[in-house]
């Protein structure tokens, strides 16, 4: 089954403790991206990657890092999480920019 | 820089046709316009994509006028299960392919 898998689904952590949210897709997609979604603010793109070893900042990249060492994986790294990063995060992939996106089920992160 | 604008919310009733319009100025001539549906606590799901005129699939139609400054998602004969948030999306090819999302339209279908 074609899918985008994010882990974990829920994460509660404390300020400053580094964490990684994993994202993997099995569709051989070139394009992958991360979003955060907060009440009343819609989807905001954090980072995106158009192919292996190619990443670019989205609208809200501050406080986040990503890497794209393999085509299928696109982890989101929070080196020093802060409470304002409490949010619902989505990973998505597509065959190319502008092609329909496939989204994961989301990761709800709480930073205390 | 491209920008998208859509209504914050809409109400309708079961069995009606619902039209949601998104305004998108400054889109490039080769930009596709894409619409997604999102239910609470789920990732958005692709509905339909178009470039010009009219596109229809099994769940919706998409109307794009010649000037391409707007697009209208049409949902025929809605049901309660169509209650969701609907997003339009364009690609800003001039800004390193950034995706420009609308703020979302919360559609509530009443019995």
Contact A100 B91 (CB under 8 A): no
Q: Report pLDDT for B51.
A: 87
How many whole angstroms separate alpha carbon B79 and alpha carbon B1? 36
Distance CA B52, CA A46 (A): 29
| Contact status, residue A93 vs residue A102, Cβ threshold 8 Å | yes
Query: Whole-angstrom Cα distance, residue B107 to residue B74?
Result: 12
CA distance to partner chain A, nearest, from residue B42 (Å):
5
Q: How far is A58 from chain B (nearest CA, A)?
A: 7
Please, what is the average pLDDT of chain B? Answer: 91
Q: How confident is the model at residue B1 (pLDDT cuts 50, 70, 90)?
A: low
Contacts of B49 in chain A (CB under 8 A): 100
Question: CA angle at residue B84 from B40 to B98, to 5 degrees?
Answer: 85
Interface contact A100-B49, CB threshold 8 A? yes
For B94, the 3-state DSSP assignment is helix
> What is the pLDDT averaged over residues B44-67?
93
- What would the mean pLDDT of B23-37 be, rounded to a whole number? 85
Q: Show pLDDT as tens, one digit a residue, over chain A (112 residues).
A: 889 999 999 999 999 999 999 999 999 999 999 999 998 888 999 999 999 999 999 989 999 999 999 999 999 999 999 999 999 999 999 998 889 999 999 999 999 9
**Cβ–Cβ gap B34/A98 under 8 Å:** yes
| Res B25: pLDDT | 79
Interchain contact, B97 vs A105, CB within 8 Å: no
Calculate the average pLDDT of chain A.
95
Q: What distances in angstroms separate CA B74 from CA A28, B48, B63, B70, B93, one per listed residue?
A: 32, 10, 8, 13, 26
User: What is the tens place of the pLDDT at every residue in B61-74?
Assistant: 999 998 888 999 99
Non-local CB neighbours of B11 within 8 Å, separated by 6+ positions: B107, B108, B109, B110
Residue count (chain A): 112
pLDDT at A97: 84
Residues 42-101 on A with a CB inside 8 Å of B are 42-45, 48, 50, 56, 58-59, 88, 90, 92, 97-98, 100-101
Contacts 24+ apart (CB under 8 A), B29-32: B29/B68, B30/B93, B31/A98, B31/B2, B31/B68, B31/B90, B31/B91, B31/B93, B32/A98, B32/B90, B32/B91
């Amino acid at each position: 089954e074609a899918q985008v898998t994010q882990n974990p689904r829920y994460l509660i952590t404390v300020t400053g403790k580094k964490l990684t949210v994993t994202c993997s897709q099995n569709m051989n997609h070139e394009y992958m991206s991360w979003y955060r979604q907060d009440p009343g603010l819609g989807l905001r793109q954090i980072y995106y990657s158009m192919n292996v070893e190619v990443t670019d900042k989205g609208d809200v990249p501050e406080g986040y890092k990503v890497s794209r060492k393999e085509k299928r994986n696109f982890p989101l790294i929070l080196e020093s999480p802060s409470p304002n990063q409490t949010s619902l995060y989505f990973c998505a992939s597509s065959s190319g920019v502008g092609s329909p996106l496939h989204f994961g089920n989301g990761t709800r992160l709480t930073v205390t | 820089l491209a920008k998208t604008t859509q209504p914050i919310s809409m109400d309708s009733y079961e069995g009606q046709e619902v039209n949601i319009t998104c305004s998108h100025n400054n889109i490039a001539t080769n930009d596709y316009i894409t619409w997604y549906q999102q239910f609470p606590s789920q990732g958005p799901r692709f509905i339909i994509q178009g470039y010009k005129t009219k596109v229809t699939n099994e769940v919706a139609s998409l109307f794009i006028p010649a000037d391409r400054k707007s697009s209208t998602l049409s949902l025929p004969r809605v049901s309660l299960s169509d209650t969701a948030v609907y997003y339009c999306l364009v690609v800003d090819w001039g800004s390193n392919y950034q995706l420009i999302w609308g703020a979302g339209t919360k559609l509530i279908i009443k019995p």
